[in-house]
């Protein structure tokens, strides 16, 4: 069964998340739509401040106040069982964020690996207590059985000396070990969907490679879908099969991973790809290619195309006045650019930023 034939697991439809503050309203997520099929791996990419993490938190209904979902619908197609294509649709946006229904799903059927484990793990509880609590809550096991299961999960994620880690507090173990503990906790109930929010950002490259390999192995064994949030396009190429590119709370491009890398249709996607250091090109000595400017202030988002202030193809008229619609430019390839059909971005490199 191909990825397009697999049953739907999650549908996000025109979701908007706003933060009303004294200085103004921040529209962190502004009309995002995407779908995840069972067993698929979807990459969500973009610079910091583009709304990736807030969108992910809205799925689990854990957006920090005063943030709230102001529009849209998130449908979780709960599988009847892993072998059946039948499912029960549940509108997550209609559930009480603190209610029993969402708490049965959160952590059990949809789990999340947070970006920084040191601030996500409790400093006053041992690793074993924290993993065991999740297992007890969602699987109904006794405390002793939960500890045995937690130990097995730590072994599964390749944790060195898991018996000692089980009794350790987060500050007593290294960053890589804390990240493995977070993965063990997220996978302890064998979720249908794993949301991984920058799970390897703070790790050294060796540990990062080990954890990415581990996640692929566990995904194949458990059969879960993964929503992989990152700004590292190298990780996207390695881990995902479909990519959604976000900018200022909007989806600006989406397609399969090969199309994104070999034929980008949006200038922002092209700029992200061209900012990747290229190995084996010794003549490129000096500063790396970078995207002009920075992500605009969320209180004053530009009119027209949100990327026009940084885009080398800004026409000075339509780009400034008219918001581009996300549309299918090629089969299965969506882009929100007025000139997506005419720009040959695959053969263009953005200019190197000068000092």
Q: Report if residue 116 sits inside a domain.
A: no
- Model confidence, pTM: 0.88
* 6 and 98 share one domain: yes
pLDDT (0 to 100) of residue 279: 63
CATH of the domain at 24: 3.40.50.300
φ, ψ of residue 248 to 5 degrees: the values are 50, 45
Q: Report if residue 230 sits inside a domain.
A: yes
Among 62, 44, 68, 27, which Cα is nearest to 197's? Answer: 44
Q: Report if residue 301 sits inside a domain.
A: yes
* 60 and 208 share one domain: yes
Tens digit of pLDDT for each residue in 296-330?
Answer: 888 888 899 999 999 999 998 999 999 999 999 99
* 96 and 198 share one domain: yes
pLDDT (0 to 100) of residue 346: 63
Residue 116 in this model has a pLDDT that exceeds 60: yes
* 337 and 318 share one domain: yes
Residue 287 in this model has a pLDDT that exceeds 80: no
pLDDT (0 to 100) of residue 350: 42
Distance separating alpha carbons of residues 37 and 101, to the nearest angstrom: 22
> Residue 3 — pLDDT band, cuts 50, 70, 90?
low
Cβ density class 122-150: b for 16+ within 10 Å, e for less = eeeebbbbbbbbbbbebeebeeeebbebb
* 184 and 201 share one domain: no
Q: Which residue segment(s) compose the domain that 341 sits in? A: 265-347
pLDDT (0 to 100) of residue 347: 57
> Residue 354 — pLDDT band, cuts 50, 70, 90?
very low
User: 224, 190 in Cβ contact below 8 A?
Assistant: yes
* 96 and 32 share one domain: yes
pLDDT (0 to 100) of residue 270: 92
Task: Give the least confident one: 11-25, 165-179, 201-215.
Answer: 201-215
* 103 and 26 share one domain: yes
* 321 and 236 share one domain: no
Query: What are the contacts of 132-139 at 24+ separation with CB within 8 A?
Result: 134/107, 134/185, 134/188, 134/189, 135/188, 135/189, 137/107, 137/108, 138/104, 138/107, 138/108, 138/189, 139/108, 139/189
Distance separating alpha carbons of residues 217 and 41, to the nearest angstrom: 13
pLDDT (0 to 100) of residue 196: 92
């Amino acid at each position: 069964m191909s990825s397009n034939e697999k049953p739907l697991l999650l549908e996000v439809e025109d979701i908007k998340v706003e933060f009303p503050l004294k200085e103004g309203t921040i529209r962190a997520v502004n009309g995002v739509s995407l779908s995840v099929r069972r067993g698929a791996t979807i990459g969500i990419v973009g610079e910091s401040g583009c709304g990736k993490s807030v969108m992910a938190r809205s799925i689990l209904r854990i957006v920090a106040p005063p943030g709230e979902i102001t529009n849209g619908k998130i449908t979780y197609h709960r599988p009847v069982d892993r072998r059946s294509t039948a499912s029960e649709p549940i509108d997550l946006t209609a559930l009480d964020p603190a209610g029993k229904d969402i708490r049965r799903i959160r952590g059990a059927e949809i789990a999340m690996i947070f970006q920084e484990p040191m601030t996500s793990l409790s400093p006053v509880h041992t690793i074993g207590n924290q993993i065991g609590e999740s297992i007890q809550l969602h699987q109904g096991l006794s405390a002793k059985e939960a500890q045995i299961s937690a130990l097995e999960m730590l072994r599964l994620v390749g944790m060195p000396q898991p018996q000692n880690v089980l009794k350790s507090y987060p500050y007593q173990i290294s960053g890589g070990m804390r990240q493995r503990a977070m993965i063990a906790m997220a996978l302890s109930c064998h979720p249908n969907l794993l949301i991984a929010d920058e799970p390897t950002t703070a790790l050294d490259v060796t540990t990062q490679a080990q954890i990415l390999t581990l996640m692929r192995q566990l995904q194949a064994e458990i059969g879960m879908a993964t929503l992989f949030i990152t700004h590292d396009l190298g990780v996207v190429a390695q881990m995902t099969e479909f990519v959604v590119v976000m900018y200022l709370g909007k989806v600006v491009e989406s397609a399969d991973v090969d199309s994104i890398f070999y034929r980008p249709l949006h200038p922002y996607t092209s700029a992200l790809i061209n900012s990747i250091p290229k190995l084996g090109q010794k003549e490129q000595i000096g500063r790396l290619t970078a995207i002009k400017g920075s992500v605009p202030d969320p209180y004053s988002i530009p009119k027209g195309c949100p990327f026009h202030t940084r885009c080398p193809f800004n026409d000075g008229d339509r780009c400034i006045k008219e918001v581009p619609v996300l549309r299918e430019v090629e089969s299965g390839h969506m882009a929100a650019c007025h000139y997506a059909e005419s720009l040959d971005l695959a053969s263009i490199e953005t200019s190197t930023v000068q000092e």
